[in-house]
Copies of this chain bind each other. A is one copy, B any other.
Amino acid sequence: MSDRLVTAGLPLRSRLLVGSAGYPNQQVMLDSIAASGAEVVTVAIRRISLQGYSESLIDVLGSDIRLLPNTAGCSTARDAVLTAKLARDALETSWIKLEVIGDRESLYPDVEEMLKAAAELVTDGFIVLPYCNDDPVTCRKLADLGCATVMPLGAPIGSGQGIRNPGAIETICARSSVPVILDAGVGTASDAAFAMELGCAGVLLNTAIAKSRSPVVMAAAMRAAVDAGYGARKAGRIPKRDYAEPSSPQMGLIGS
């Protein structure tokens, strides 16, 4: 139990959270989500196309999946808050992945608008999981506002660069009063393991699985990586040493 990621009082089955976008097709998406072991899956909220619409995500994703709607693409607190409210009504969940983008190229958050939206949503009873900067001050403010987690970026969304500033993530994890979930930037399994070793409580990723050559295989790899990193963190790694230290005994060598 103590080994579960508890978010807003709810213990989750997995410390890996995944997105639902960009898979080659729906079946690969479903198989990848299953292979990832994730309980929480993010979805976007978009205008319905007026010529009727295809099978709904809600139906294809089983009931054992917890949908986490996001406010991706919103660039103002106003749009993000309305999107969150629509998501709540559409999906009957008060969980929201808050994204307020400040810049289309870097997709970095707009700190001011994000904090404004977070305050409003928390007040309105949402469970807010904000995608935020790797900035200990902003993360602390989000936690103080009542966000359920903070989700600092490891690198720009979809860049696959991994964790560009491990020191910052480590500082955030060391001080955070809420679970820290690394969001964005993970490119491969070792990145996810590293995030957990830095002290993250979980990892949220999408492109690294969906756009890999074999998403289902990568999903299983990410699942193992999060377990590995979490275990290593718990086990307490050896310190880094500048010089070598023999593992085999030094005594009783022949010819000595």
- Which A residues contact B (CB, under 8 angstroms)? 19, 21-22, 44-47, 49, 70, 72-74, 76, 78-79, 82-83, 86, 102-103, 105-112, 115, 133-138, 140-141, 155-162, 164-165, 167-168, 171, 175, 187-194, 197, 206-208, 210-215, 217-218, 220-225, 227-232, 234-255
Contact of A73 among B207, B214, B246 (CB under 8 A): B246
Which residue of chain B is the closest to A137 with respect to CB atoms? Answer: B102
B255 near A234: Cβ-Cβ < 8 Å: no
- Copies of chain A in the complex: 4
- Bound-state CA distance A120–B251 (Å) is 26
A244-B156, A246-B158 known; A74+B253 contact, CB < 8 A: yes
Q: In the assembled complex, how far is the CB of residue A249 from the closest CB belonging to chain B, in whole angstroms?
A: 6
A112-B115, A133-B133, A244-B158 known; A197+B207 contact, CB < 8 A: no
B247 near A221: Cβ-Cβ < 8 Å: no
Contact of A245 among B44, B135, B157 (CB under 8 A): B157
The residues of B that contact A234 with a CB separation of less than 8 Å are: 214, 217, 221
> Top 3 nearest A-B pairs by Cβ distance?
A213-B236, A221-B231, A158-B245
- Bound-state CA distance A239–B167 (Å) is 16
Which residue of chain B is the closest to A217 with respect to CB atoms? Answer: B235
- In the complex, besides A102-B137, A102-B138, 19 extra interface pairs with C-beta distance below 8 angstroms are A22-B247, A46-B251, A73-B248, A74-B253, A74-B255, A79-B255, A86-B254, A103-B137, A105-B243, A106-B171, A112-B141, A189-B193, A189-B232, A190-B228, A193-B193, A212-B235, A214-B235, A218-B235, A218-B237
